[in-house]
Amino acid sequence: MSRSPLRRSRFQTDAGIEIQDVYTSQDAPQCSEEEASASGDGMVLGLPGEYPYTRGVQSTMYRGRLWTMRQYAGFGSAEESNRRYKYLLAGGQTGLSVAFDLPTQMGHDPDHPLSCGEVGRVGVSIASLADMRVLLDGLPLDKITTSMTINATATTLLAFYIAVADERGTPRKALGGTVQNDILKEYMARGTYIYPPRPSLRLITDLFRFCHAELPQWNTISISGYHIREAGCDAVQEVAFTLADAIAYVEAAIAVGLHVDEFAPRLSFFFNAHNNLIEEVAKFRAARRLWARIMRERFSAKDEKSCMLRFHAQTAGSMLTAQQPLTNTVRNSVQALAAILGGCQSLHVNAYDEALALPSEQSALLALRTQQVLAHESGVADFVDPLGGSFAVEALTDAIEREARRYIARIDELGGMVAAIERQYPQREIENRAYEYQRTVEKKERIVVGVNDFVIKEPPMQGLHKLDPQLEIERVQSLQRFRAQRDRDRGSETQGTLAALRQAAQSEPSSENNLMVAILRAVKADATLGEIADILRSVFGEYDHSAHG
């Protein structure tokens, strides 16, 4: 399948779906007779909290509980990030969302040659259990939920988190949060992969199995359309490729012996909240309905929670402009409103200055205040499904689901998402859409305020956040002192756990041979993130993107 080129007009959504002159009841939502009768009131549309969850996964939505306000933050050292978390929590944030720097994401310690110039730059630098202790200092792990945007090294970062909780005596069953842990979208959109897809799937399913037994409140994966959208895809592709990734994870877990209802209730999703308000609301509704149908029809899920698509949303970083950056507050507000009207479970609003630097304290607080105004002053949270029954919204919901199904069918024809990624199919589709979008901007068929129209001369922005270059030097020195002390005190213990990890990675996966267990033992013996990743590199190899063309 290949999408038709965008021919941008005022009467087309960003995904190229034609907008009719007027919508009527003839364009009302479509569903099966079974789904209509299951709603209990004869309505074709159904009710919130009922299969197929088009109108939301909870019957009362925000009347019962507001979405979690989870501002994404992390930079520099663990000390600096810990201060920012406490600042945001004091300002009313209700959940943590941790950003890690590129070396941490790529499985390199701060003193690795490839880490040079990147330590602490786009997130916090975490290399050891000692760092995680500092990052979480004073934070009540049994009372807050923590989301960690980490993929290739998700098992190790979660192991650090669990080890800190164990040291404090916090019961594992009380820990709530999410690891992103979605490696497939890295191959097609973001690039922070380490190992090839198939061994990476083993790390993911081992984490599923471990958390099912030990961390029942933990979301074991956040299947992320956000980064696919940031790479340039449209709303239909975001739904299709995200759910195709999710299908691959479900199939991988079933293949290693897990029952679908053992792990599916803890799957969560992460979507982009983009500019086109009505299309975005329809996108969220279509994703929810399509996932419910996939889980029931394709995987025979019995637990209703297995069919519920719960999602975090973040406003679109790719839509932030360096020109007239204060205008980004308006974009962020529209995008956040789309996520709320679409029924998100948690939300992050970007800071207006992020196209120029890491968020300043002022801009981060304003982003949080944007959520709070929408929650407490706009009135939208009083309605369970504010736009349910809108002819336009329901027609777009149907159209997005229909087009997403076509993509998923094509991916199935290619042998599933892993095979499709290896053949570069989703990558090409995303690249083509990104090119078409940029073409419409450059031709001024699409107006971006302050960029290709309504342009003004403006002075450089003041008060931007700046990283201290001394930070990287201090991080390297601190890590080297940590290793030296460890090697004197317990070097043989550390090496023993790393050897056991190697043996586990070389062995066939099983419930008795879980890599998450082996990694947690290594972490508690003070093995560093880079040392653990290098052991797995030596067994699994590294993925070479250029070899798959």
Element (H, E) at 339: helix 328-341
- What letter would DSSP give residue 515? H
More confident residue, 35 or 216: 216
For residue 121, is pLDDT > 50? yes
Residue 40 pLDDT = 40
For residue 38, is pLDDT > 60? no
For residue 39, is pLDDT > 50? no
Q: Which of 35-44, 147-156, 415-424, 494-503 has the lowest mean pLDDT?
A: 35-44
Residue 37 pLDDT = 45
What is the per-residue pLDDT across 129-140, written as a single tens digit (0 to 9) for each?
A: 999 999 999 999
CATH number of 1-60+180-311+338-345+363-458: 3.20.20.240
Residue 467 pLDDT = 75
Contacts of 15 (CB under 8 A, 6+ apart): 234, 235, 236, 237, 279, 400, 403
Distance (Å, rounded) from C-alpha 15 to C-alpha 8?
A: 10
Residue 151 pLDDT = 96
Reported as a pLDDT band with limits 50, 70 and 90, residue 524 is: very high
Give mean pLDDT, residues 491-499: 96
Domain boundaries, the chain: 1-60+180-311+338-345+363-458, 489-547
Where helices occur in 93-172 by DSSP H, the ranges are 102-106, 129-135, 154-168
The whole-chain average pLDDT of the chain stands at 92
Please state the φ and ψ torsions of residue 443, each to the nearest 5 degrees.
-85, 0
CB atoms within 10 A of CB 304: 17
356 within 8 A of 325, measured Cβ to Cβ: yes
Residue 46 pLDDT = 85
Residue 450 pLDDT = 94
For residue 276, is pLDDT > 90? yes
Q: Which of 21-35, 406-420, 437-451 has the lowest mean pLDDT?
A: 21-35
Q: Which of 136-140, 160-164, 394-398, 505-509 has the lowest mean pLDDT?
A: 505-509
For residue 154, is pLDDT > 50? yes
Strand order in the sheet with 346-348: 68-69, 346-348, 311-315, 267-273, 221-224
Residue 95 pLDDT = 81
Write down the pTM of the prediction.
0.91
Reported as a pLDDT band with limits 50, 70 and 90, residue 359 is: confident
For residue 1, is pLDDT > 90? no
